[in-house]
Amino acid sequence: MTVAMSDEKITSLQNPRIKQLVKLRDRRPRDEAGVFLVEGYREIRRALEKEVALQELYYAPDWFLGENEPALIAQAKAAGAKAFELSKEAFAKVAYRERPDGLLAVAPQWRRTLADLDRLLDGRTEPAAYPGTAVPAARTPFLLVVEAIEKPGNLGTILRSADAAGCDAVIVCDPVTDIFNPNVVRASTGVLFSVPLVVEESAHVLTWLRSRHIRTVATTPAAETLYTAADLRGPLAVIMGSEQYGLSEFWLNNSDLPVRIPMAGQADSLNVAMATIITLFEAVRQRSG
C-alpha cells in the first residue's frame, strides 16, 4: 500500500527514535518522559476522538490491515502529531503486538485527582479542562474502585467493562501495575481515553467516598450476602480486590456491605476482571429497573 505522506522515513534499527520507543515499553523511561505508547488503529482512533494531543505517530504501510490508515494518519497530523514512516523491520522492532497493524503513537501521560472527580460528578467540569472526558448529566454516582490490580491485561479489561457498564469513573487504589502500561492500553481497546481514571491511596479514597455519601460494596468470598441480594442502587462504589489476595483488611473492615458471587464448582474465586463484569452488570440491571 502506498501512502503519500512525505514524512521522514526511518529504516535503521539503531535510529535514536527507534531506541527511545523500545525504552518506553518500561515504566521508568515512560514516567521520566511523561509519555506512553498507544499501538493500534482502534486505540489511536479513540485517542483522537477524545482529543488526546498525540505527540508523535509512527506508521509502516507494509503492516497495514485495511484502507483507512492514511486518513487516520492525516487526522493525527492535523491535530499536531509529528509523523514518521518506518520500514517494516523498524516497526517490528518497536511494536508491542505479535502481529502489529503498522500504527504506533506517543501520547502524554495525565494525572487526575479526586478533586477532578468532584467537578465531574457535580457537572462543573468543562471538556477543555478535563481532556478526553464528556461532562455527564447530573445523576446518581456509579463508581468502580479497584485495589492493587497486578496484571495489566486485567486492568485494561476492567476499564473496558466499566465503560460498558456506564460507570462514571474508575479509581485505582494502591496500584501495582502502571495504568500506562502498553498492555493496559491494548486490553482496554482505547477505553483508557474515555473513562475518567484516578489513581489514589485507599485511605484518601474512603474519606472522599464518605464525604460524598457514596455507599461502598466490597466483593469477597467470605461475605454472607449474595451480590444479587444487595441493593446496588443509589450512590454506589463497587470495590474489587487484587487477583492474588482479594481485598485488603482496610476495605473489608471499612466498606458498608460485603457481598459474594456464589461458586458452585471447586474453584473458590473468579478472575478479577470476570468478577468485576458480573458485579457491575448486576448493578446496571438494578439501576435500570
Do residues 253 and 172 both lie within one domain? Answer: yes
Residue 193 in this model has a pLDDT that exceeds 70: yes
- Residue 247 in 3-state DSSP? coil
Domain termination site, one of 62, 87, 108: 108
Number of domains in the chain: 2
Shared domain check, 129 and 104 = no
Residue 123 CB-half CA count within 13 A: 5
Residue 274 domain-assigned?
yes
Q: Are residues 207 and 274 in the same domain?
A: yes
Question: Which residues form the domain of 243?
Answer: 114-288
Residues 134, 38: one domain? no
CA–CA distance, 96 with 79 (Å, rounded to integer)? 24
| pLDDT category of residue 157 using cuts at 50, 70 and 90 | very high
Q: What is the pLDDT of residue 126?
A: 53
For residues 284 and 168, membership in a common domain is answered with yes
Predicted confidence (pLDDT) at residue 265 exceeds the cutoff of 70:
no
Residue 172 falls inside a structural domain:
yes
Q: Could you tell me if 37 and 173 lie in one domain?
A: no
Q: What is the mean pLDDT of residues 152-156?
A: 95
Cell of 213: 455519601
1 found inside a domain: no
Q: Does 56 share its domain with 92? A: yes
Indicate whether 87 belongs to any domain: yes
Per-residue model confidence (pLDDT) at position 2:
47
CA distance 183 to 187: 6
Where is the domain boundary, 52, 87, 108? 108
Q: What is the CATH number of the domain that holds 72?
A: 3.30.1330.30
Separation CA 143–CA 214 (nearest Å): 9
Whether 121 and 254 map to the same domain: the answer is: yes
At 132, the pLDDT band (50, 70, 90 cuts) reads low
Query: Over pLDDT 70: what percentage of the chain?
Result: 90
Same domain, 167 and 44: no
- Burial class of residue 193, CB neighbours in 10 A (0-12, 13-18, 19+): buried
Q: Using pLDDT thresholds of 50, 70 and 90, give the confidence band for residue 7.
A: confident
Note whether residue 57 is domain-resident. yes
Residue 2 lies in a domain: no
Whether 279 and 139 share a structural domain: yes
Provide φ and ψ at 146, rounded to 5°: -120, 140
- According to DSSP, residue 44 is labeled H
Does residue 206 share a domain with residue 99? no
Average pLDDT, integer, range 91-100: 94
| Rounded Cα distance, 17 and 13, in Å | 9
Mean pLDDT of 40-57: 96
- Which is more confidently placed, 250 or 8? 250
Look at residue 1 in the predicted model and tell me its pLDDT. Answer: 46
Q: So what's the pLDDT on residue 122?
A: 87
Q: b/e for 197-217, b at 16 or more Cβ within 10 A?
A: bbbbebeebbebbeeeebbbb
pLDDT in tens, 113-127: 999 999 989 886 654
Residue 3, in any domain of the structure? no
Flag whether pLDDT at 179 surpasses 90.
Answer: yes
135, 274: one domain:
yes
Instruction: Give the strands of the sheet with 8-10, arranged side by side.
Output: 8-10, 82-86, 56-59, 103-108, 35-39
Give the pLDDT confidence score for residue 244 in this predicted structure: 83
C-alpha cell at 201: 491511596
Q: Which of 89, 108, 127 is the last residue of a domain?
A: 108
CATH number at residue 210: 3.40.1280.10
**Mean of the per-residue pLDDT values of the chain:** 91
Assign 3-class secondary structure to 166-204.
Answer: CCCEEEEECCCCCCCCHHHHHHCCCHHHCCCEEEECHHH
Query: Distance between CA 184 and CA 109 in Å, rounded?
Result: 13
Judged against a pLDDT cut of 70, whether residue 266 lies above it is answered with no
Provide the pLDDT for residue 156: 96
pLDDT (mean) for 63-88: 96
